[in-house]
Amino acid sequence: MAGRSVNQFLLTANRLSDWSQVHAVVAGLGVSGYAAADGLLSLGAHVTVLDESPSHAQKAAILETLGAQVRLGPGATSDLPPDTSLVVTSPGWRPDTLLLTQALRRGIPVWGDVELAWRMQQPDRVIPWLGITGTNGKTTTTQMAESMLRAAGMRAAAVGNIGRPIVEAILDEEPYDALVVELSSFQLHWVHTVALHSAVVLNLHEDHLEFYNGPGGYERYVADKARIYERVTNACVYNVAEPETERLVEEAEVTEGARAIGFTTGIPAISMVGVVDELIVDRAFVPQRRSSALELAKVSDVQPFAPHNVANACAAAALVRSLRVPPQAVARGLRDLQLAGHRIAEVAEIDGVRWIDDSKATNPHAADSAMQAFPSFVWVAGGQTKGTSFDDLITRHRDRIRAAILVGVDRQVIADALARHAPDVPVIVLDSSDHGVMDEVVSQAARLARRGDAVLLSPGSASLDMFTGYDDRGERFATAVRSLQAPSS
């Protein structure tokens, strides 16, 4: 099969197609790369996996047993094999990575694992996908939607950016009724034919500008987020509080008949899900003759309670209601949900001071959501700021910040913003680059906090400068807090 005819084949290739002439390169042997290679092998493609890290030897050995070729170590990704007809890239690979630019220059299609998974269920195993993206709240909303579907008796799985590769779920022997797919902008960048049943953009704020570097970086970030609405078949859910998300719906090329559905923490208009008298209500998926709102859940069903989590619950409810999930399942799903850690999680209360682990807040907008929940707090912040600005965040909350303790590679970025907009706030900058710095953080915070305050680890920054991930950062904070001895009364 010549190169041009292979490209033609790949335009419509699906699970039942003959993949034997496809020479696929998988870029990266992380979790999603391993699943993608496994999926391609199951289709019958020739597979080569490339990764600069030599640490994937065990996974490489398994894939080689299954028939793949694997090249690991420095230089492994410098040259694209000459017979390549498809590249499937891992989500974290920038579009300007040498291997990917080589493929694009040669006219070779580049897919992400999401596109591959979509093809792997066509044409005879198609189930609805509910897609979730946005700067913040993706994982929480994904977990909420999954819990609601399961409360309705549906076999559902949360996949994608939440941690479990979507290809792995497609290969699962369990026949799912629906998938809830968390999608990052990186994943959406390489989507071509995916047609979600329903999708939401929760919010849009500066993030990952180190990935979208150069002029127009934020605009390119938003454009990738907007791709989630393309070809949607049922409901495009948008955030009433952020008109830009509605604009993306208006500009999307959706499947005929798809509806625009708003979510809000205020009183909803028709075709919205929102809040009335401490109840989450539906005015979108109710009979047209019915003018009143349909109760879905109590606001108190949302745990942990915070204004942004109520918004997330409304978004999740709108998505699952597009699948006609009954109201009682929405409420039960919220009550039954056990969210993953490090999201406004209370570690302890010691001598009237609440110690809060919100390490998942890896950008300023996420930190803003947590700050709204506390009237006064000692702020623990810093890490990799990813080119974002803290000016608006500090201006908005400077009267709540008792003091700030800053760590991490970009700590001075936040210190400078505090000096500009909150010069009276005491600031402690810790220069240590060792992850053991959390002991000093907690010691200083205990000295600064007063009864009724929170000590809020909400860094507004990524963690990989000092920790293995936001979870490691949160655990080290929690361990240091638990080591405190509460003062005797």
Please report, in range form, the residues annotated as the binding site: 134-140
Residue 324 CB coordination number (10 Å) = 8
d(CA 383, CA 409): 5
Q: Which residues contact 468 (CB under 8 A, 6 or more apart)?
A: none
Q: Where are the alpha helices (DSSP H) in 67-216?
A: 98-105, 113-120, 138-151, 166-171, 185-189
* CA 353, chain centre distance (Å): 31
Nearest one of 51, 18, 55, 21 to 36, comparing CA atoms: 51
d(CA 70, CA 76): 9
- Here the tokens at position 198 are 């329903």
| Three-state SS at 49 | strand
Strand residues in 277-364 grouped as ranges (E): 279-282, 294-298, 345-350, 353-357
User: Degrees (nearest 5) of the Cα angle 181, 311, 208?
Assistant: 55
Check if the beta carbon of residue 37 is closer than 8 Å to that of residue 72. Answer: no
Maximum CA pair distance of the chain? Answer: 80
Residue 175 CB coordination number (10 Å) = 8
Q: Which residues are annotated as a binding site for ATP?
A: 134-140
- Here the tokens at position 147 are 């819990």
d(CA 23, CA 44): 10
Question: Could you give the dihedral angle defined by the CA atoms of residues 146, 147, 152 and 153, in that order, rounded to the nearest 10 degrees?
Answer: 80
Nearest one of 358, 423, 366 to 393, comparing CA atoms: 366
- Residue carrying structure tokens 């019958």: 44
Buried b (16+ CB within 10 A) or exposed e, 266-288: eebeeebbbbeeebbbbbbbbee
Q: Where are the alpha helices (DSSP H) in 341-469?
A: 364-371, 391-397, 411-421, 437-448
